[in-house]
Structure 1
Amino acid sequence: MNTVSAKVPPAPARVHLPSLLAALAALAIMGVGSVYPLLFADAAGKADHGLAMALFWAMSAGLVRGVGFVPRFILWRWGFSGWACAAGLLLAAWLRWGV
């Protein structure tokens, strides 16, 4: 007997508004950073790569989750989640204004 297992179709993607708004805020930060690049500089005037990495991570995670895409692989799912977007923004704020 040959039985074929029926595949259940994935749930439709939905827009996740908080993450999408965070991605739009990150895009605004990138736009301001393009006009005023000293925003991403440290006190000595050198580029702050940690700050840029945190902002790019937040922007990417917010955009991926914001449009409703949820990766299947667990590490990508965590790295591009709404919580990862918030963590990236908090890390950027801590790197920029932290004690």
Structure 2
Amino acid sequence: MIQAMNSSPVQISPPKIRPLSLAVALLIMIGGSIYPFAFAKADGSADHTFAMLIFWAMSAGLVNGVGFVPRWLLWRWIFSGWACLMALLLACVIRLA
């Protein structure tokens, strides 16, 4: 049990590797390294909204995938597996729109 800043104690599960989140993050990282134009618009300019969402998904996947559990509730949500999925789905919606 961990005492969060100015709040009641928070029950945090023991850290463990989460292979799906880690695989998604590594796939984004490797795919973006091999073909960086995937993060650009059709005209070649930067697509900042898409890049922000896809990099959020990658960051959340890496943090969650290696089993790190932040103490602060907001960070715990931002770097959760569900946040990774939500950012990835929003990036797909932005790309397909």
Shorter-chain TM-score category? 0.7 to 0.9
Q: Distance in 2 between matches of 1:74 and 1:28?
A: 30
Is there any run of 5+ residues in structure 1 with no aligned partner, and where?
1-9
Q: Contact 2:32/2:39 (CA < 8 Å) preserved in 1?
A: no
Single out whichever of 69-78 and 86-95 deviates more from structure 2: 86-95
- What is the total number of aligned residue pairs between the two structures? 86
Please report how far the alpha carbon of residue 29 of structure 1 lies from its aligned counterpart in structure 2 after TM superposition.
2.6
* Counterpart code for 2:34: V
- Deviation string 1:30-52 (CA, Å, 9 cap, x unpaired) is 21333xx2x22223432100011
Which residue among 18, 21, 27 is the counterpart of 2:20? 18
Alignment of 1:44-83 (within 5 A): 44-83=43-82
Structure label with greater radius of gyration: 1
Specify which structure has the higher proportion of strand.
2
**RMSD between aligned alpha carbons?**
1.7
Q: Distance in 1 between matches of 2:91 and 2:13?
A: 33
TM, length-normalised to structure 2: 0.78
Is there any run of 5+ residues in structure 2 with no aligned partner, and where?
1-11
Please report how far the alpha carbon of residue 22 of structure 1 lies from its aligned counterpart in structure 2 after TM superposition.
1.1
* % same residue: 52
